[in-house]
Homo-oligomer: A and B are copies of this chain.
Amino acid sequence: MIQTLEWTDQGVRFIDQTKLPTEEIYLMCKTHQEVADAIRNMVVRGAPAIGVAAAMGIALGMKTSKAETVGELKRELDQISDNIGKTRPTAVNLFWAIRRMQEKFERVRVRPVAQIKNELIEEAKRMHAEDIAANQAMGRHGATLMPSDGGVLTHCNAGALATAGYGTALGVIRAAVEAGKKIHVYADETRPFLQGSRLTAWELMKDGIPTTVISDNMAGAMMKQGKIGAIVVGADRIAANGDVANKIGTYTVAVLAKENGIPFYVAAPISTVDMACADGSKIPIEQRNAREITHIAGKQMVPDGVSIENPAFDVTPAKYVAAIITERGIARAPFEESLRKLAGSETAVEA
């Protein structure tokens, strides 16, 4: 079992995703500031993992707080929440996690300070456990959509490393393999951070699931050659109308899928659905440092003076999405209805 992030007595422990696949190094964050840096620097990444990391960062800030009154503790909570909320703007799970910790605080604020701290630590640990359970449920639902024998393409890493464990898109693939389906994964390398080649391939190799890494610009050729039976990706934020913000390049994969008649699936927990966001045009898109494009492994790859764009995400309009797989069931178009139904329900239903 891959331990993406873990609550320990010493602090929050992360597998350092900037060092994979050649080095398996763990980083212990002993302060909430260190957790915020780990999120910002992509030591931990992937929308659900960012959510759990944020909750654990807040819990760590509470644990180490010297506050003696509930008022002081609340001011620290707000300041820590603010700081962590500024790390990555696109993944809505980050804000969902902060809100959940804030709400928990409100529910227990009548108790002594020491007990409030414990309750928030327990809440963060619960979110970690719930995320794994949600991914396993997502896997059970989504496995039915995978081909019984064929290639499945994925983009970026929506695996154990993007979550508390098991994965969203890769959870669907894992569940399909566990159910006896013969799946060969095609992993887009996913420039610039190479989550596909470095992370997706690493965790699928650990599980013995056959995997071929391709550069992003080969996905179209693989589809046209008939090698891909389905596509499944994760999401960083899903608007109420089913538009999906996910790793840059996802839109391209979706357009290619449509052109080649291949179903394009999104697997994401309900916490990724932002019902307050009407459509994809309202989702803020993070621009990252130009150096991720200009340099690879420390080597300069572009001439001096050239401009760079480096949006970390793009928006795939709902019309390209065959289905959204959640822990509560599968949503299909019209997504306004199906997502509202799933977001409002507490039990697993087939929308």
State the A residues within 8 Å of B (CB).
21-22, 155, 188-192, 194, 197-198, 201-202, 205, 210-222, 224, 248-249, 251-252, 255-256, 258-259, 293-294, 296-311, 314-315
Contact = CB atoms under 8 A, between A and B. Distances in A.
B212 A215 contact: no
Contacts of A224: 251, 314-315
Contacts of A255: 220, 255-256, 259
Nearest to A251: B220
Nearest to A255: B259
A225 to B, nearest CB: 9
Contacts of A259: 255, 258-259
8 A-B pairs with least C-beta separation: A217-B249, A220-B252, A297-B299, A191-B215, A21-B303, A212-B307, A216-B217, A221-B314
- In the complex, the count of this chain's copies comes to 2
A222 B309 contact: yes
Contacts of A218: 248-249, 309-311, 314
A291 B3 CA distance: 30
A330 to B, nearest CB: 26
Given A215-B249, A219-B252, A258-B259, 20 more contacts: A22-B299, A155-B217, A188-B217, A189-B191, A191-B215, A192-B215, A197-B301, A205-B305, A214-B293, A214-B308, A215-B216, A215-B248, A218-B311, A220-B252, A220-B255, A221-B251, A222-B309, A224-B315, A259-B259, A296-B296
Contact of A302 (B197, B248, B309, B315): B197
Contacts of A305: 205
